[in-house]
Amino acid sequence: MGLGDKINEMKEKFGGQAEDKANEVVKNVGDEIDEKTGGKYADKVDQAQQAATEQIDKLDGKQG
């Protein structure tokens, strides 16, 4: 199951708040990784968070 499938599943569960919930999860997971690794991979985590957020926005039609 890909990211798009997960977002669609969340849309069914949370209605219009799915994208906000997904972005919140991305942020929280990144913060948890930074905490567990002592920030050692913060730059990579930030890049991954940005990429995930961009994909979520694309699925939501907020490209740009």
pLDDT along the chain (64 residues), means of 10: 72 74 90 96 95 84 57
Range of the domain at 33: 3-60
pTM, 2 dp: 0.70
DSSP E strand stretches across 1-64: none
When divided into structural domains, the chain yields a total of: 1
Structure tokens given for 53: 């957020």
Torsion angle in degrees (nearest 10) through CA of 19, 25, 30, 35: 150
